[in-house]
Structure 1
Amino acid sequence: MINKAYLTVLYAMAFLSGATLVWLMISVVASVLMRNAGLQPFAWLFTSAEYGLLYMTMLGAPWLVREKGHVHIELVTSALPPAARRIVSRGVAVACVAVCLILAWKGVDLVLTNIERGDVDTRAYYFPRWMLTITFPISFGLMAIEFSRFVFGSDLMHTGEAGIHE
């Protein structure tokens, strides 16, 4: 039950990330067309694209870790024997978990500071800053969970195959 709820959240975040990518394309094309027509693009159009870049990146990252879609280099691991590759791969995953946990913790601190101060982003419209920074602890927390699957699970992050494999 918990696993199903977790996967639902993870895939919903990935879907929102993909939808945001579509919005980015629409907003950029609309902005360019408006400029070429001699019109001033709406201020919120540019701001929503900026926000969208953050949301797209942060919401899609945990799913990318789960799918091994993040960038990593197999040059070293491909030269290692299987036992050493397992040790190195799990060690890298431990380091990734540690970094993600630190960033999630700092993200919580940032969100709480934004709420406490009442920080507002005031470019095109007033937008509570915590609504932007809330993505940090959520996404880095979920990435820590996903990287921990490579620490404790049977699946390794590294395949040991150098080059592009799709």
Structure 2
Amino acid sequence: MRGLERAYDRLINTMGWIAGSILILLMLATVLKVALRLFFGHGLLGIDQISGIMMVWMTFLGAAWVLREGGHVAVDILTSNLTGNTARVAALIAAVTGTIVCLAVAWFGFQAVITSLRRGVVVAAELEIPRAVNLIPIPFGALLMGLEFMRQAINICRGEIPVTAGAH
């Protein structure tokens, strides 16, 4: 089981690195577009469209890594004064809810990708890119986040995650 968990962590780390690399490529593409527009009066065709696709990929590939590292936004207005068992139960409810929501998004996202591929849906824009290209990272990233929330729930139940006031 530890080998499977290590492989999962390597996958999450790889997805985090890919997301970071996409962010750098996105920044470079934007700088290139602005520079070309400034010096030559026009940018590259499709950069905005590709940038939008890159943002979706970056977000969903990096989301599980951010979740594992505790970097997601947490609204602790209700939980900041909880301690002990109450804090643990609240954290468990949040982790289980996150698991359910992410796995549902993964399932419906997978269905959307399959439907899009079967129908051959293409986004009508500067570049004709299959819609599935935009959708593929959504079920994959949501599945990984669901698994990460599930791992958090299991670790909370085992007492391996210390739950303190204001923790998420």
Q: Describe the shift of the 1:18–1:158 C-alpha distance in structure 2 as closer, same or farther (beyond 3 A).
A: farther
Q: Out of 113, 127, 130, which is 2:129 matched to? A: 127
**CA distance in 1 between partners of 2:110 and 2:100 (Å):** 15
| Structure-1-length-normalised TM-score | 0.88
Q: Describe the shift of the 1:158–1:70 C-alpha distance in structure 2 as closer, same or farther (beyond 3 A).
A: farther
Task: Count how many residue pairs are aligned between Structure 1 and Structure 2.
Answer: 162
User: Does structure 1 residue 23 correspond to structure 2 residue 28?
Assistant: no
**CA distance in 1 between partners of 2:141 and 2:163 (Å):** 22
Partner of 1:118: 120
Partner of 1:91: 93
Partner of 2:151: 149
Q: Out of 44, 47, 50, which is 1:48 matched to? A: 50
Partner of 1:70: 72
Please say if residues 74 and 159 of structure 1, whose CA atoms lie closer than 8 Å, have aligned partners that are also in contact.
no
Name stretches of at least 5 consecutive residues in structure 1 with no aligned partner: none
Please say if residues 99 and 146 of structure 2, whose CA atoms lie closer than 8 Å, have aligned partners that are also in contact.
yes
* Aligned Cα root-mean-square deviation (Å): 1.8
**CA distance in 2 between partners of 1:156 and 1:93 (Å):** 12
In structure 1, give the amino acid aligned to 2:116: N
Question: What do residues 44-102 of structure 1 show as CA deviations (whole Å, max 9, x unaligned)?
Answer: 32222111111111111011111111001233222112110000110111111111111
Matched residue of 2:79: which SS? helix
Please say if residues 17 and 57 of structure 1, whose CA atoms lie closer than 8 Å, have aligned partners that are also in contact.
yes
Question: What do residues 4-46 of structure 1 show as CA deviations (whole Å, max 9, x unaligned)?
Answer: 3222221111111001111111111111112222421111322
- Superposed structure 1 runs of 4+ greater than 6 Å apart: none
Residue 155 (structure 1) shift: 4.4
Please say if residues 35 and 41 of structure 1, whose CA atoms lie closer than 8 Å, have aligned partners that are also in contact.
yes
Name stretches of at least 5 consecutive residues in structure 2 with no aligned partner: none
- Report sequence identity in percent: 30
Please say if residues 77 and 158 of structure 1, whose CA atoms lie closer than 8 Å, have aligned partners that are also in contact.
no
**CA distance in 1 between partners of 2:162 and 2:59 (Å):** 20
Q: Out of 153, 160, 163, which is 2:165 matched to? A: 160
Please say if residues 65 and 143 of structure 1, whose CA atoms lie closer than 8 Å, have aligned partners that are also in contact.
yes
Partner of 2:35: 33
